[in-house]
Amino acid sequence: MQGIAFFDFDGTLVKGDSLLPFLGELAGRRRVRWALARAVKAAVRQPRSPAVPDLRTAVKASLLHQLLAGVRMEEAQAAARRLAAWPRWNRRVLDHLRRHKDAGRRVVVATGALELYMPELLAELEVDALLATGLECVDGVLTGRMQGGNCVRATKAHRVAAYLHEHGPFGESWGYGNRPSDLPMLALLKHRTVI
């Protein structure tokens, strides 16, 4: 049976986190810095809920609402295209991805990064599927809200499990991620590499 390999993106396939660079392309770095300060302040005060279960998700939700609500999808896609030169690839992990492809295995990127810009960043790679954080869009305008939750930790593991169930069975499975946020995903896979 075909094998499958799941790769996290931020901090695993690339060095760093892609969200702030994307928001900088869209809104400018200065505006992003102010929005980040407001988001952290609000997140610390906000009680946790099932929709926003942790501090990092609360900060992300606030940032997205401040900087994406009311933005036309075409404008966001243009910023995504400008971001295409951003990645600083982790060559060792990238080599693993290419070896899995060469061996005929299915390759899936599972990331908390935004589905909106990830296709631009993955354009040069032969990836079979992308599991990422979606954004709500109404009549071509972003609302600033995540759709389907933040694809990290337990949510990411749930989506990976659903993907395995829907597309499997697979003879072998591999996972590449970073600690601690990818441990729930990695627990689902036979061969695990923590970056």
Provide the 3-class DSSP secondary structure of residue 181.
coil
Residue 177 banded pLDDT, cuts 50, 70, 90: very high
Region 4-194: CATH code: 3.40.50.1000
Q: 63 with 23: CB under 8 angstroms?
A: yes
Residue 171 banded pLDDT, cuts 50, 70, 90: very high
Specify the range with the lowest mean pLDDT, choosing from 5-9, 41-45, 154-158. 41-45
pLDDT of residue 183: 96
The residue with tokens 């990818």 is: 182
Region 145-158 average pLDDT = 95
Task: Tally the residues of the chain.
Answer: 195
Q: 134 with 112: CB under 8 angstroms?
A: no
Residue 51 banded pLDDT, cuts 50, 70, 90: low
Residue 179 banded pLDDT, cuts 50, 70, 90: confident
Q: What is the pTM of this model?
A: 0.94
Strands 129-138 and 141-147, bridge-based pairing: antiparallel
List, edge to edge, every strand of the sheet that includes 191-194. Answer: 141-147, 129-138, 106-114, 4-7, 173-177, 191-194
Is 44 a residue whose pLDDT tops 90?
no
- DSSP string covering 26-48: HH-HHHHHHHHHHHHHHHHHSPP
Residue 187 carries which DSSP code? T
Q: Where are the domains of the chain?
A: 4-194
pLDDT of residue 16: 95
Q: What's the chain's average pLDDT?
A: 95
What are the tens digits of pLDDT across the range 89-144?
999 999 999 999 999 999 999 999 999 999 999 999 989 999 999 999 999 999 99
Region 68-86 average pLDDT = 97
